[in-house]
C-alpha cells in the first residue's frame, strides 16, 4: 500500500563564478522563481545564500540544501578540507569552506558537487539526457567546465572532472596567448568567454558580423576537440553544450561540423547520426539546469527521505 507524502522542499543553489542562482522545489515541475545575485566576495556571496535559505525556512520546512558550485571543490569526505574550494582561479575564493559555512549558518545538511556535475545530473534526469546511461555536460562561460554522468551517477575520483584544462591544438588563425592562469592556452584559456572578449576587446554579444564569424570559427574548433576527446574516453550517448558563449550565433552547429570532421568516422553509433544533431545538443532545461542539478544532489543525498522516486516505492 502506497503512503501519501508531500513533495520534498529543497533549496537549490547554483554558485557560478559570475552569479548565484537560488530556487526552492523538488524538480522542474515544482520549482519556485529563480533568485539571482552576483558572485562577489566570499562573505557577501555566502551571506546572500544564507539569506535565501532563511527566507525559505520562514515560509515552511526545508528538507535540505543542494549546492552546485564553481570549483574545484574538495569532495573527499575524509579530507580535512572537505567542502572547501581548492585551486579555483576566482580571486579570494581559494580555500573557502563554502559548504561548512552554509551548514553552520542554516542548520541544514548540504549536498554538493561541481556546478557542471550538478547540471549534468539534472539534464540526465529531467532534460536532454533522459533515456541515456552516460552523458557529458560542457558549459562554456566565464570558464569551461565538464560534468560527466556514467551509469546514471556523476563521476568522482580524486576530484571531479576538470575538462576545461584539456590541452587542445591551436586553430591556425588564432594567435591569442590564452588566459588560463595555470596553462595559458588550454581549452578554458582559449574558448571561455573572457578569451573571446580579450581577442576582440568587447563582449561576445557586441561583436559585429565579421568578428562573430571569426569567433565562431576559432571557438568551435576548440570545443570540437573537447567533444571528440570525451567521446573517445567516456563514450557518452549525449553531449550537452551550454553556457553563455553558446549564444554566439551558429556556434553549436559549427561545433557539430568540426566534431564530425575530427572524428573522421572513428566513432560509429546510432546516436551520432550524419550531422550529430542527436548527439551534440543544447540543454533541455535551459538556464535552470544548474539550480535543478543542485536540487537533484540534495534529493539523492538522502534518497529515503527526500527523493520522490523512492517514496513512490514505499
Query: Is there a domain that residue 51 lies in?
Result: yes
The CATH code of the domain that includes 165 is 3.30.420.40
DSSP state of 93: -
DSSP strand pairing (135-140 vs 238-242): parallel
Mean pLDDT of 80-89: 91
Same domain membership, residue 276 and residue 166: yes
Same domain membership, residue 174 and residue 89: no
Q: Which secondary structure element, helix H or strand E, spans residue 125, and what is its range? A: helix 115-126
Q: Which secondary structure element, helix H or strand E, spans residue 294, and what is its range? A: helix 289-301
Q: Give ∠ CA 238-242-243 in degrees, rounded to 5.
A: 160
Query: Is there a domain that residue 219 lies in?
Result: yes
Neighbours of 309 (CB within 10 A): 11
Same domain membership, residue 81 and residue 48: yes
Same domain membership, residue 267 and residue 302: no
Beta strands in 115-154 (DSSP E): 135-140, 144-150, 153-154
Q: What is the pLDDT of residue 142?
A: 85
Q: What is the pLDDT of residue 313?
A: 33
Query: Is there a domain that residue 125 lies in?
Result: no
Same domain membership, residue 190 and residue 68: no
Query: Is there a domain that residue 231 lies in?
Result: yes
Please determine, for residue 93, whether its predicted confidence score (pLDDT) is greater than 80. yes
Same domain membership, residue 254 and residue 206: yes
SS3 letters for 161-225? CCHHHCECCCCCCCCCCCCECCCECEHHHHHCHHHHHHHHCCCHHHCCHHHHHHHHHHHHHHHHH
**pLDDT tens-digit map of 125-139:** 999 999 999 999 999
The length of the chain in residues reads 314
**pLDDT tens-digit map of 135-188:** 999 999 888 999 999 998 888 766 677 888 999 999 999 999 999 888 889 999
Query: Is there a domain that residue 25 lies in?
Result: yes
The percentage of the chain sitting over the pLDDT mark of 70, rounded to a whole number, equals: 93
With a CB cutoff of 8 Å and minimum separation 6, the contacts of 121 are: 113, 147, 149, 154, 293, 296, 297, 300
Number of domains in the chain: 2
Same domain membership, residue 69 and residue 20: yes
Query: Is there a domain that residue 37 lies in?
Result: yes
Same domain membership, residue 260 and residue 151: yes
**pLDDT tens-digit map of 240-293:** 999 999 999 999 999 999 999 999 888 877 677 778 999 999 999 998 999 999
Q: What is the pLDDT of residue 158?
A: 66
What residues make up the domain containing 59? 10-117+287-311
Same domain membership, residue 296 and residue 264: no
Same domain membership, residue 52 and residue 21: yes
Query: Is there a domain that residue 250 lies in?
Result: yes
Query: Is there a domain that residue 1 lies in?
Result: no
Amino acid at each position: 500500500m502506497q503512503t501519501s507524502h508531500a513533495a520534498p522542499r529543497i533549496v537549490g543553489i547554483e554558485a557560478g563564478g559570475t552569479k548565484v542562482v537560488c530556487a526552492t522545489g523538488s524538480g522542474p515541475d515544482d520549482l519556485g522563481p529563480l533568485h539571482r545575485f552576483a558572485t562577489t566576495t566570499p562573505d557577501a556571496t555566502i551571506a546572500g545564500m544564507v539569506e535565501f535559505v532563511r527566507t525559505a525556512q520562514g515560509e515552511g520546512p526545508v528538507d535540505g540544501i543542494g549546492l552546485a558550485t564553481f570549483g574545484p571543490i574538495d569532495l573527499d569526505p575524509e579530507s580535512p578540507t572537505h567542502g572547501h574550494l581548492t585551486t579555483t582561479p576566482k580571486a579570494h575564493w581559494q580555500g573557502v569552506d563554502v559548504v561548512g559555512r552554509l551548514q553552520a549558518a542554516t542548520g541544514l545538511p548540504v549536498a554538493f558537487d561541481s556546478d557542471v556535475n550538478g547540471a549534468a545530473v539534472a539534464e540526465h534526469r529531467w532534460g536532454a539526457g533522459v533515456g541515456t546511461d552516460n552523458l557529458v555536460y560542457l558549459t562554456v562561460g566565464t570558464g569551461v567546465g565538464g560534468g560527466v554522468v556514467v551509469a546514471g551517477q556523476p563521476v568522482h575520483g580524486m576530484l571531479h572532472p576538470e575538462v576545461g584544462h584539456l590541452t587542445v591544438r591551436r586553430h591556425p588563425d588564432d594567435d591569442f596567448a590564452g588566459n588560463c592562469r595555470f596553462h595559458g592556452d588550454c581549452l578554458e584559456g582559449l574558448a571561455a568567454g573572457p578569451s573571446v572578449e580579450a581577442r576582440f576587446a568587447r563582449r561576445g554579444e557586441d561583436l559585429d558580423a565579421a568578428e562573430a564569424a571569426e569567433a565562431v570559427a576559432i571557438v568551435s574548433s576548440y570545443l570540437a576537440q573537447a567533444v571528440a576527446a570525451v567521446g573517445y574516453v567516456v563514450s557518452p550517448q549525449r553531449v550537452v553544450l551550454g553556457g553563455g558563449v553558446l549564444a554566439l550565433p551558429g556556434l553549436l552547429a559549427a561545433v557539430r561540423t568540426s566534431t564530425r570532421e575530427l572524428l573522421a568516422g572513428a566513432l560509429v553509433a546510432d546516436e551520432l547520426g550524419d550531422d550529430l544533431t542527436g548527439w551534440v545538443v543544447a540543454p533541455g532545461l535551459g538556464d535552470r539546469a544548474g539550480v535543478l542539478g543542485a536540487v537533484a544532489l540534495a534529493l539523492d543525498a538522502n534518497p529515503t527521505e527526500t527523493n520522490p522516486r523512492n517514496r513512490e516505492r514505499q
